[in-house]
Every structure is written in C-alpha cells, then in structure tokens.
Amino acid sequence: MSRACRNQTKTASQAVGADALTILNANAAGIDIGLEEMWVSVRADRDPQPLRKFGMNTPDLFTVADWLKVCGVETVAMESTGVYWIPLYEILEARGFRVYLVNARQAKNLPGRKRDEGDAQWLRRLHTFGLLNNSFRPEDEICAVRAYWRHRVDLIEHRAAHIQHMQKALHQMNVRLSPTVTDITGVTGMAIIRAILAGKRDPVHLAQLRNPRCAQPESEFVKALTGNYRDEHVFALKQAVALYDAYTHQLLECDQELERKFSALKPVHDDDLPPLDSTDKRNTHSKNAPAYDGRNLLYHLLGIDLVAVHGLNEVTAQIILSEIGTDMSCWSDEKHFCSWLGLAPHHDVSGGKVLRRRTLKTHNRAGQAFRLAAQAVGKTETAYGAFFRRMRAMHGPRKAIVATAHKIARAVYIMLRDHKPFHALDSDMYNQREKERQIARLYKKATTLGFTLTPVSA
C-alpha cells in the first residue's frame, strides 16, 4: 500500500473515531410495553438470554425488576404507551431504577423493522448513547394530586352528558325551562325539575319556585312551564336527574380527597405569611370549582397568590400546579417552560430559511389551562387584556390566545421560581408603555435613515 493510501486510510479511521457515539448509560435496558406482554432488552454480556418476554400481571412486574437487578441495570427506557406503563414505572422507581419515560415520536424505529422485541432493543441502544429525552413527571405527591384532578375533570364531563339528557327530556315535554333560565342546574332550575318529578304539574305553582332575582317575570315562567307531561319523558328526566345527583356526590367525595392531599403537601416556604387579600377577585368563583377554599390552600403552600394573576381563578391555578408541580428547576428558563407547554413557536428551517412558523400540536393540560386564562382575560381592563386585543387586531384571535397565554405562563414561572408576588398592571399603564416603545422605535428608525423627528405641539 502506498503512503498516500495509508494516509487516506488513517484520516478516514480518525474521522470515524471522532464521529463515534459515546456510551453515556452503560447499564441501560429497554422495555416495550403492551396490553398483554412486554419485551425487555439488556446488554448481551449481562445474561445468556438478553431479550426476554414477560407478562403484564403484577407478579411479572416484580420478576422484571428482580431480573434487571441481577443484570446490573441502573436505568431503564420505556415508551408511554397508554396507561400500561404506570404500574411498571412505579415499581421500578420504588426499586431504585432511573426510569426514562420516552415520547414515541423520539424513538421511531427503522422502516420495515417494527416488532415489539425490536422496539425494546432499539430503545436500549438509543438510551445507551443518551439519545432519548426523559419526559417530565412531577414528584409523587404532586402526581397524586394530578391524578385526583384529572379524575375530577372526567367526572364533570360525564355529568355534563346527563345535563344534556335532562334538557332533552324537558324539550320533549315542551317545558321551555332552558331558554327561561340561564342554567337549569341552578337553584331555580333544580327546584322546578324536582317539583316536576314529585308530581307537580300546575305551571303557576312551578313558577312560584323561581328565585326572586331571576330576570324573567313570573308570567314568562308560567307560559314556559306549561308542558305535555307524558310518562315516558318524565321517566327519562327522573333517571337523568338521578345520574346527575350521583356524579355530584362523587364530585364532593373527590373534593374532600383533594383538600386532604393539598393540606398534606409540605409548604415550599418558611416565612410568616400576611393575610390573603381576596377582594380583587370576589366574583370569579367558577360554578364547577371545588367546595373547599383552593385559593387559601395554594397561598399557604406556595407563599404566593397564583390566583392574583389576571386570567387565573382557583380552578385553573390548581390544574396548572397539579401538572407542573412546585419545582421550576426542571426547566432552565421560562422559554423552555413555555416550549414544554406548547405555547412557543416552532420554526422549520432549511437552507438557512424559515419555512414555517407554528406552535406544535400538544395535549398539555397545563398549556390548555393557560389558553383558557388568556381567553378569560381578553375583555378585562388589564395589561394582559390590552395585549390580547392588540394581538387580535394584528394576527387574529387564535394567535392572540397563544401569545397571551405565553405571557401569563412566563409570569407564573417567575413567580414560582423566585417566590415573588404578582404585580398587577392596568391597561392604561400598558398602553402608555407601548406608546413609549413605539416612539422610541420611530426615533431610532428616523436616525438610521438620516431624519429628525419633531413632536407636534398640543
């Protein structure tokens, strides 16, 4: 071999060595989980049979944990497949393993090689070289609160279906209660419905059950409550009310557990807190809010009042806290936090050009709560409200919601990270600051073009 060929070969080998992947997790394992079985892969030098299949029963999960301990595994990578991963995750974490919960989009296998055992091996290889990112999961106490809150949201959704059944039965009897009152599950609506189920049919007697604060007069109620009461429709109404009451009772039990869980959380501060001033949001109590005082519970837990943030109420604040926890060190700054929420723009760049700018689709519940807060603040005379209206005029309502939610999320992140209270800014102050920024930009632009701006006197 000539000297030139030897030099080329040496240069190629050096390039390969420079591009070689570094092993970051030598004691790694990969697990592919399904409904009835799972495949577990370890390194070939750890066991004569490094790829094994296990069942999904609880004894099988303990067997997997024991086998991984024997093989000297320290960290495990698994995909978040449905809810099948939760029992195994909890068991492995209790045994001392570092468990990586991986997004399936980040661990796509090679084309034509989609098999469960192959997925387990592929996960192990990627995790060995540190090519997988761990999904965020708060501490155990917050996870318990999050599970209760998600279950509570499901209960509210299931109860809403039976409210629609009640409305349907009333319409079939031509009892026009729904247009007459704003909410049929309010005090007036439920009093009239329960009287109908008790056998009352006289519209005058039913109209007298209205709350005196109702906007519609009693004569309108008499006309609306004159219906065609057939037995089959009354029976459907009775069952819908029974199911509504059952879900309401389940909600009360869930609220009691939530209050107990929040009260058991360790406060993140050691300071003596002043009394909470809740006069700024006296009329923001949501109808589906828990029965306990969630604002005070969060205040004593965090040392700051999250509900004071414009757009947030005690429901959205508790949902956000149950999803993100109290430790903000999981995100390096507020930009990474907003990106995780799905509130930051994603740029597709090719050839040095930005092809598309958009927010990625996500099912992040905390991000959805911030979007609801942005919609709620849109009509208020606050700084966030003025910003929302300015963005809506420039870019439309969808982008305005995301931009305002991004602003609220940044404020919440800084409050939880630095333990600083929220300082409100009204719309007039915001508009004045925006005017000053526009004037400064005009002066800078004029100076760049060689002009001088002179303000017009009053």
Q: What is the pTM of this model?
A: 0.83
Q: How does pLDDT run along the chain (458 residues), one tens digit per residue? A: 445 444 544 444 444 444 567 889 999 999 999 888 999 999 999 999 999 999 999 999 999 999 999 999 999 999 887 888 999 999 999 999 999 998 877 777 656 566 767 888 899 999 999 888 888 999 989 999 999 999 999 999 999 999 999 999 999 999 998 888 888 999 999 999 999 999 999 999 999 998 888 888 888 999 999 989 999 999 999 999 999 999 999 999 999 999 999 999 988 887 778 888 776 665 566 788 898 888 999 999 999 999 999 999 999 999 999 999 999 999 999 999 999 999 988 888 888 888 888 888 888 999 999 999 999 998 888 889 999 999 999 999 999 999 999 999 999 999 999 988 888 777 788 788 888 888 888 888 888 888 888 887 74
Angle, CA 168 vertex, CA 164 and CA 171 arms, to 5°: 135
Cα separation, 15 vs 7, in Å, equals 12
pLDDT value for 277: 74
Please state whether 199 falls in left (phi above 0), alpha (psi between -120 and 50) or beta: left
User: How would you classify the pairing of strands 75-79 and 51-55?
Assistant: unpaired
**Separation of alpha carbons 247 and 156, rounded Å:** 8
Cα(429)–Cα(435) distance, rounded to whole angstroms? 10
Tokens found for residue 144: 């318990």
Asked if 139 and 107 count as a contact pair (C-beta separation under 8 A), the reply is no
CB atoms within 10 A of CB 5: 9
Q: From CA 88, how far away is CA 101, in angstroms rounded?
A: 11
Give the Cα-Cα-Cα angle 374, 375, 378 (nearest 5 degrees). Answer: 85
C-beta neighbour count of 116 within 10 angstroms: 13
Helix (H, G, I), strand (E, B) or coil at 52: strand
CA distance linking residue 13 with residue 19, whole number of Å: 10
In total, the chain counts a number of residues equal to 458
| Alpha carbon of residue 448 to chain centroid | 46
Structure tokens at 281: 């949001």
pLDDT score, position 260: 94
